[in-house]
Structure 1
């Protein structure tokens, strides 16, 4: 589903993550720790989340977009599973602490990408591409 270029942009860029609570109130935050594991899954580290993680517990739907939408003009939508232990949590802890030793991730968020949309300005904007 995600191309190598899409996956590269997600890993190298800051991404903006959108969630909503069970009443539909939106929340968008910048996230520095997002890494595709394969063409359908993205691992996200919960280092400082408050509203975002609360929203995901209430409503597991998520959307993200890389900071540089000119280079990667796509929005990724899907659902998440949250892990406080196990393989994905261990991966997040190792990854985060390799970047900043003082980080103590609270959970690992595994996003399954279900849809990809174009955000490229022009007639393709908003069109589903995968």
Structure 2
């Protein structure tokens, strides 16, 4: 199981993560998710506020990728996994509290991204190497 460490959590909190999904099995879709953050040691979460293409892709079973990059340090991570959209339970409550604390409206869904693999996006020889301990 891939584990989110403190450096990853800090980067997700400080930088703007970009989410990628796939439409119709072939067409890539990417976009920023300003509410994307770590939920626990192996799961990311974000408030789905628009209910657009990303949500439709996730509900259709699209795999997901999240990239987060710190331009100043030329460091970053790529998280690969599978997602689920919910409207109840702890994830939903987390998203409602996040929205209230950050002056956002009520989300349409809470989206959980269960991380399968994590890769380095650090510039240099180790770019693209897996960093979650799995082989």
TM-score relative to the length of structure 2? 0.85
Kindly report the root-mean-square deviation, in angstroms, between the aligned alpha carbons of the 2 structures: 1.7
Matches within 5 A, 1:57-96: 57-68=59-70, 70=73, 72-96=75-99
Q: Give me the whole-angstrom Cα distance separating, in 2, the residues matched to 1:61 and 1:106.
A: 20
Q: How far 1:67 moved relative to its partner?
A: 4.1
Q: Give me the whole-angstrom Cα distance separating, in 2, the residues matched to 1:67 and 1:119.
A: 7
Query: Unaligned stretches of 5+ in structure 1?
Result: none
Q: Does the C-alpha gap of structure 1 residues 9 and 46 become closer, same or farther in structure 2, counting only changes over 3 Å?
A: same
TM-score relative to the length of structure 1? 0.88
Is the 1:7–1:39 contact (alpha carbons within 8 Å) kept by the matching residues of 2? no
Q: Counterpart of 1:123?
A: 125
Matches within 5 A, 1:9-88: 9-68=11-70, 70=73, 72-88=75-91
Q: How far 1:12 moved relative to its partner?
A: 2.8
Instruction: After superposition, give the CA deviation of every residue in 1:14-67 in whole Å (9 maximum; x if it has no partner).
Output: 110111123221011011101212221111110124111111111341111124
Q: How far 1:72 moved relative to its partner?
A: 4.1
Give 3-state SS (helix, strand or coil) of 2:56's partner: helix
Give 3-state SS (helix, strand or coil) of 1:28's partner: strand
Aligned equivalent of 2:100, options 88, 91, 97: 97
Q: Give me the whole-angstrom Cα distance separating, in 2, the residues matched to 1:123 and 1:71.
A: 12
Is the 1:117–1:129 contact (alpha carbons within 8 Å) kept by the matching residues of 2? yes
Runs of 4+ deviating beyond 3 Å: 69-72
Q: Give me the whole-angstrom Cα distance separating, in 2, the residues matched to 1:20 and 1:31.
A: 16
Query: Unaligned stretches of 5+ in structure 2?
Result: none
Is the 2:74–2:122 contact (alpha carbons within 8 Å) kept by the matching residues of 1? no
